[in-house]
Each structure stands twice: as C-alpha cells, then as structure tokens.
Chains A and B, each alone.
Chain A
Amino acid sequence: MENLKPVLEMVDIKKNYFGNQVLKGVSLKVMPGEIHALCGENGAGKSTLMNILFGMPVIHSTGGFEGEIRMDGEVIEIKTPRDAMKYGIGMVHQEFMLIPGFSVEENVKLNREPLKESILGKFLGEPMKNLNRDEIRRDTQAALDQLGMDMMPADKVAGLPVGYMQFVEIAREIDKRGVRLLVFDEPTAVLTEGEAERLLAAMKALADQGIAILFITHRLDEVMTASQHVTIIRDGAFVKYLNTKETNVTEISALMVGREVEVIERTKHHEASNEIVMEIEDLKVEMPGEMVKGVNLKIEKGEILGIGGLAGQGKIGIANGIMGLYPATGKVTFEGKEVTLNNPKAAINAQIAFVSEDRRGVGLLLDESIAFNIAVPALQNQGKFLKKFGPVSLMDQAAVTENANKYIEELDIRCTGPNQNVRRLSGGNQQKVCIAKALTSEPKIIFVSEPTRGIDIGAKRLVLDTLVKLNEEQGMTVIITSSELAELKSVCDRIAIVTEGKVIGVLPASEDDAKFGLLMSGITEGVEG
C-alpha cells in the first residue's frame, strides 16, 4: 500500500464566500481501495469541500477556490460536475436523487441508457433511438449483485423501503464505467441499524474491488468499523489525519468538537415507583410506514422513558397516535382520565405536549418568527398571550416577545432575535424552538420524537440536556422516541422496545446492548429478568 499513489489528493484548499473564510487550508488524501472517513461537525466545511471536488457551479460563481486537486499525483482541474464524472468521481447523495415513478433499472441508467437502432433513429439520430432494455436489465442486475442486494431491476423506486433507495443510488454510481472514487455523504443517516450494516458491507466489497471510498458520516462507530483512515476537519480547518486502527471514538469526537465529549450526567435517577401517570392500552395507529398494532405501556410519573426500535416498526406512531395526528383506536388514560383520541385539541388540553419528528413539516411555521412559532399553540388552546379590548381579544405582542426571549436564553437558541424567521435557523435551533413551543403550554408530560435527528453533536447534547433538566428540575415526565439506542441509554431510566407494532419488552436503560438488540430482532427469550 505504501508505495501506491493516492487516487485523490486535495491540497491546502481554501475558499471564501463573500469574505467569510469557510475553508482555511484543508488537505485530504485518499488511497485506492480504502475507505476513508471524513469527519466534522455540521458547518465544519465538509459540504463545501465536496462542492469543490464536484465542480459545483456555486463554487465557481463565487470566485473559485485556492489549492490543488490531484488524481494519481497529477494536478487536475474540475470546473463542472461533468468533469468530475469524467475523472471517475461519483457521489451517493444524502437526499435521494431518484425519480420515484421510474423503475430501479431506469433510475440506474437514466440518461446513460444503452441504445439500439430503430427506424426513426436512422433518420433523426440518437434521441430517436430505442432503449436496449435487455442490456439495461443485465447491467443493473450486475450492479445489484455486486452490492449483494436482492431486488428486482423492474421494481418501481416509489415502493421501495427507504434503505433500499440508497442502494439504487450506489448501483447507479458503480454502473458508471471507470469509477475510481465514490463519495458517500452521510449515507446511514436515514437507515436503520440493519440497513446501515448492509451498506457498510457493500462499501467494503466495493473497496476490495479497488474503488476508493470517501465516507462522510456523523456516526463514529461506523468510522471505526469501516474505515482505514480518517480525516478530521473543524471550523473549515484541517485538524488531523489518523490511522483508524490507532485511534478510538473518544479521540475522534474530541478532535471534531474541539472539546471533550462527556456522557450526559444524570444527577438523580428516577426511582421505580408504582405511580402510573399514563396508561396506554391496546393502542392501534394507522400511520403509514409506522403502524402501531396494539401497544400496551405504563408510564411512571416523573420518569424518562425511551421508546426504541428499528425504523418502520411503529415506535414513531405511538406519540403521533396519542396526539391525534393519525387515526388511532384503543384507550389512553392520563392521570386517571381517558384521553380522547383522534383529536389534537383534546390531547393538548389534557396538558400533553408533543415535539414531532418532522420539525419542518409538522413542528414549525417556517416563514413566521421564532416568537410567533413558540406562542401559537398556547394562544390557541389556553388563551395565553391574549389581551382583551372590550369584546375582542388580540395577540399581546409584548408578552409573546418576552416569552420568546425567555426561551432563547434558557435553551440557548442561536438567532438574531425573537423576530427572526425560523426557516433560516439551523436544525438544532429549530428543534429548540419546537421544544420551547411545547413547553410554553406548560405540559405535565412531553413526548419527543427523534429529538436529535439531523442535528450536530454540540446541539444534540444541548437538546438532550434540556430534556434531562426538565425532568429533574420540574419533575416532568418525558418520553423520548429515538432510533439511536446509545442516545436513549444515555438519558433514559427505562427503554421500551417496539417491534412489529407492539412493545416487545421494557428494560432498565442500564441493561446490556445485547439484550436490547435481541428485543429489536423480536427475540424475548432470556431477556426478561
């Protein structure tokens, strides 16, 4: 390996956007056939670096960049994405760039279809030629086999599970002749643990065939298992090039954030009690992709309960069903009173709050101010922030602003002020606005779904800290639904695992990972205890 030339070298790359230095001399070296991890917090400059590598127009329309890109030791110029393709650089996108109504093979071969002669084609040239369907199928099948995926090339992409779509993207990239380097931009962010493992295996198989892989990820355990080397950048600057074998998760994460990452400390743990604050009996929720098929669960007063499980098993559906966002049946009793299902207003009036997993879709009014977003539910349901003027009551702007300022300070929402529109906030800060919105209604119990999805490590901690603080200082019962078991284990008292729409078991958070793993795969034997 040592005498091989690196496939790709990016040397001392600098870039500024309108005087704002986003890259301050980053270097990167990827060897053939290796999986190279690129780590950095959100905003560290990873995307800008990739935009440079792919010659995206946004780079060249803002004055280009400084530094050199070399392939096999020779300096190359990449001015357009087409150039990048020519040099054999491919990208697997985080947001799937697929056409849902097309089949797998059509997506894989889009705009590169093998053609065959047709009568019209003879006269009118290439655009009128027929597609060579057999060859398309053969090539697609070959690419899928290479990845070890058993899916039919003729299947429509729209019907595939999310995890499979990623593989269609990869199949497309490896189908391109002469791919030398594949960039995976946070490929596992939307995958379940099982799917992620399969993806990593596929990456390794590709690397063994000599394709270099640049792997951008937030999940450090994946870096440890999959990569040979890791490059860490922070705030646009190169921090360190490490041999994965000689490092560990703690060191990488410390280098990424520039500070030691501690496990969240719980000052007091909830003592198991018999005081049940909410009882869920035979809850069934019709949430597409997250069907709940009869959940029974008792929630103790003042605890932090985690709801875990694989994606698509129904854990997300529980809170959505209780809050009336999806059709639900069953019985939910809160503080001895039955909660009316299928009626969001009833749930809110019972002082149950919910922070949705879909921040931008359900949680926020993107073009309204922070203050307005926080105030609306309390204003609508509890008549807060209203001032009476004779027969009419109007929104009390001063009170709304004051309330927003309070939460901006308490939750450390980074913004220009309470009147900033939430659209421009980062994911973590948007999440904090969602939490502030829920807290303004002064709930007795709060459901939080996927609180840290898509936000960076620093913000993740703050969000989790906030939830723990609420629980410890105000005795609020908190239910966190999350796909990340490690996260649940760090903050929860008990964790319920949902499999196939049912709670298969509830364990103390301190139990072994292995036991949770067994529950997730539907095995209960030897776990209860």
Chain B
Amino acid sequence: MTNVKKMIEDYGVSRFIVTCFAVLLLVAAFLQGQDMTILFSDILNRFGMYAFFSLAMVPSIISGTLLNFGITLGILAGVLAGLISLELGLTGFTGIGCALLLAIPFGAIVGFGYGLLLNRVKGSEMVVATYVGYAAVYIMCIGWMVLPFKNPSMIWAIGGEGLRTTITLDGYYDAILSNMLSITVGGVTIQVGMLLIIAFACLLMYLFTRSKMGIAMRAAGANPIYASAVGVNVNRQRIIGTVISTVLGALGIIIYAQAFGFYQLYTAPMNMSMYPVAAVLIGGASTRKIKISHVILGTLLYQTIIAVSVPVVSMLAPEGGLGDVVRIIVSNGIILYALAQAGGNK
C-alpha cells in the first residue's frame, strides 16, 4: 500500500487524478460502443495540432517569464505569415515551407518587442501577457480588415473588402504534414511524419536547455540575482526566451492550421493560450519548472480528455448541442484545475 502511495506521489497527485479521469473517459467510451479507432486517431491528430504550443511554454518558463499567456502574439504572427503564403498562391510543401520560413522572422520581431515589454513588468508577466494577447487580437481584427490582401479565396466574396473569418487551406496545403508518412494500424491513423517533426523539435529543445545559452537561461529564470552574480545578462536571456517561445507559437499555428484545414482570424486566437498552459500544468510543470516530458504527457492527457469527453457526453445526453457545451465546461474545468495546481509536482 505504501508502495502504491509513494508511486502516486512520485508521479504527482494532480497528474494522477487527471490520468485517471482520462482513462475513465476511455473506458466509458469503450462501454458505450464508440468507435475507438476514430477516437484514438482523433487524439493523435489533436496531439500533433497542439504540441508546438505546449513546447513554446518551455523557453518562457525556464527564462523566468513564467507561463507564456502571450503566445497569442506568436499565433497572430504565424497567421500573418501563413496568409502571405496563400496570397502568393503557393501550394504544397512550397506553400507551407514559405509560411514556416516567414513565421520565424515575424515571430522573432514580435517576440523581441514583447520581451522588452516583459522586462518592464517583472513579477506580473502572466497577467500582462494575457491582456497584451487580448489587445493584440483586437488590433489585428482591424488589421485583417485593412491589410491589402487580394486573393479572392481569402477576402469576403461580396464587396471584396477585408479577410474572411475562416480561410480554407483546401487546394493549398491542407493536412500536408498530417498526411506525410501517415500509416493506418488496425484502423488507427498514426501520423508518423507529424510525430517525427514533434520529436525532432522536442529533441532540439532538450539540447538547447543543455547548451551554454540554455543553462544561462535556466539560471536567469531560477534565480536572477544568482545569474547576474555569475555574469549572465538576465534581461537578455528573458528576451531570448520570449523570442523562441513566440517563434514556436508562430510555427505552431501553421502546423495547427494545416491539420485543421483553415486559418481562423479575428477573435479565434483569443483563448488559444489557455490550451498549452493547461496542458503543461497537468503534465507536471509549474510556473517555474518544466521538462520536455511534462510537455508531451500533458498535451496527450489534455487532448485525450477533450477528444473523448464530447462523444461520451453526447451519447449520454443526446439533446442537441450539449456536446459542445460539455467541451467548453470540461476544457475550462481542466484549465481551472491545472491553474489551481500550478505549484506543480515537486
């Protein structure tokens, strides 16, 4: 018994509870006779869509700017890069390659400015980040109206002024990475290419945290006074961390969009930052400490719960529209639980 207790404690009590919840949902879905192969495919697909956002939390946490609620800025930069690739009429790998390449400088520029801001609001980064994100979303609402995009598949059909709320990637690079090297095993679609990309990104991040700069960043985040005493420029590390995090957000939204099939504009990116924040927190990270394993496990758990809870509840209560209500309640409930547990597992 004590062994079991110790194992649970080592794993983290909150993480254990969330894991149990996810398993419970899977069991319920199985008992209801849901098509498990579709569910598992959906979980893997969602994991691929959200993993980059979760990974973007790593540099911000280790550099001491805490959970990056301002990932929205990176998302907006990424959307802009993606739209330019569409405007140029690029398709296939050229299209997405162009979008990803443009996303890096866009994200870096936005991240640099955002990092300068965060250095002025030390101690309340997360609150400031949240509102900066909201403000940026609304500023870009104007932006989407006035930016001189001309591609008819992107602008409103009648009148032709401003961009549509959702812009389809059909015919450009819809699901191009998701389908890359994708295989089907026993009915479950495994996006091997996608998983490889994520694994590669995680590996790079892991190596970064062990490089000279990564270690300077960890020191700056863990104890700024210590870091400056050993000759590390703390503000610089925080800016670099923010830049990397923002760039990952920008890349993330392009990967997300190709899997989803659309770029969503206007207020859609508003609460996107909540998902990766909740994911890494239930994965075991805290506002000050994070490992790559927290990113992977957290994203997997969080997306499992979201993907499975909706069909399970829809079958329990088939009245129209309840499924979506449940999705909102569950996802926000998990976010609330994760934030309440933000101490992380020790």
Contacts and interface: CB of A to CB of B under 8 A. Distances in A.
A321 to B, nearest CB: 13
Contact of B210 (A345, A361, A376, A394): A394
A349 B289 CA distance: 30
Interface string B196-226: 0000000000010011100110110011011
A383 interface: yes
Summarize B's interface: helix, strand, loop or mixed: helix
Contact of A381 (B210, B231, B288): B231
Interface residues of B, number: 19
Interface in A295-347: 323, 325, 344-345
Interface stretch (A15-23, A186-194, A362-370): A362-370
Interface in A377-435: 377, 379-381, 383, 386, 392-395, 397
B228 interface: yes
Contacts of B211: 392-395
Contacts of B127: none
B226 A345 contact: no
B240 to A, nearest CB: 14
A362 B226 contact: yes
Interface in B211-267: 211-212, 215-216, 218-219, 222-223, 225-226, 228-232
B219 A365 contact: yes
Contact of B228 (A344, A367, A394): A344
Which range holds the interface residue count of chain A? Answer: 20 to 34
A238 interface: no
Contacts of B232: 380
Nearest to A320: B229
A367 B219 CA distance: 10
A363 B207 CA distance: 26
B212 A386 contact: yes
Contact of B215 (A356, A361, A366, A379): A379
A348 interface: yes
A365 B223 contact: yes
Contact of A376 (B219, B225, B228): B219
Contacts of A367: 222, 288-289
A54 interface: no
A354 interface: yes
Nearest to A363: B226
Contacts of A394: 207, 210-211
Q: Which of A323, A380, A383: most chain B Cβ within 10 A?
A: A380
A380 B226 contact: no
B229 A325 contact: yes
A17 to B, nearest CB: 17
B205 to A, nearest CB: 13
Contact of A344 (B207, B216, B218, B229): B229
Q: Which of B211, B212, B232 has the most CB of A within 10 A?
A: B212
Nearest to A394: B210
Nearest to A364: B226
Nearest to A346: B231
A363 B288 CA distance: 19
A349 B231 CA distance: 9
Interface string B148-180: 000000000000000000000000000000000
B230 A380 contact: yes
B228 A325 contact: yes
B223 A377 contact: no
A376 B215 contact: yes
Contact of B222 (A365, A377, A392): A365
B289 A323 contact: no
Contacts of A397: 210
A367 B222 CA distance: 8
A416 B223 CA distance: 23
Contacts of A364: 223, 226
Contacts of A349: 231
Nearest to B229: A362
A333 to B, nearest CB: 20
B216 A380 contact: yes
A366 B223 contact: yes
Contacts of B215: 376, 379-380, 395
Contact of A365 (B207, B212, B226, B231): B226
Nearest to B230: A377
Contacts of B207: 392, 394
Interface in A46-68: none
Nearest to A392: B211
A344 B231 CA distance: 5
A368 B220 CA distance: 13
Contacts of B222: 365-368
Contact of A356 (B212, B218, B229, B231): B229
Given A393-B211, A395-B215, A344 B225 contact: no
Contact of B231 (A362, A363, A366, A380): A380
Of listed B212, B219, B229, residue having the most chain A CB within 10 A: B229
Contact of B229 (A323, A386, A395): A323
A324 to B, nearest CB: 8
A393 B231 CA distance: 19
Contacts of B218: 365, 368
A259 to B, nearest CB: 35
A381 B227 CA distance: 12
A380 B212 contact: yes
Most chain B CB atoms below 10 A, which of A325, A344, A349: A344
Nearest to B231: A345
Contact of A395 (B210, B219, B226, B288): B210
Q: Give the interface centre of B223, B230, B289 by most chain A CB atoms within 10 Å.
A: B230
Contact of A379 (B212, B226, B289): B212
A262 B31 CA distance: 76
A379 B207 CA distance: 16
Contacts of A386: 212
A214 B231 CA distance: 46
A363 B231 CA distance: 13
Contacts of B289: 367
Given A354-B229, A386-B212, 8 more contacts: A323-B229, A344-B230, A364-B223, A365-B222, A368-B218, A376-B230, A380-B219, A394-B210
Q: Please name the 4 residue pairs, one residue from A and one from B, whose CB atoms are nearest each other, closest first.
A: A345-B231, A377-B230, A395-B210, A365-B222
Interface of A: 323, 325, 344-345, 348-349, 354, 356, 361-368, 376-377, 379-381, 383, 386, 392-395, 397
26 contacts: A323-B229, A325-B228, A344-B230, A344-B231, A345-B231, A348-B230, A354-B229, A361-B223, A361-B225, A362-B229, A363-B226, A364-B223, A365-B218, A366-B222, A366-B223, A367-B222, A367-B288, A368-B222, A379-B212, A379-B215, A380-B212, A380-B219, A393-B212, A394-B207, A394-B210, A395-B215
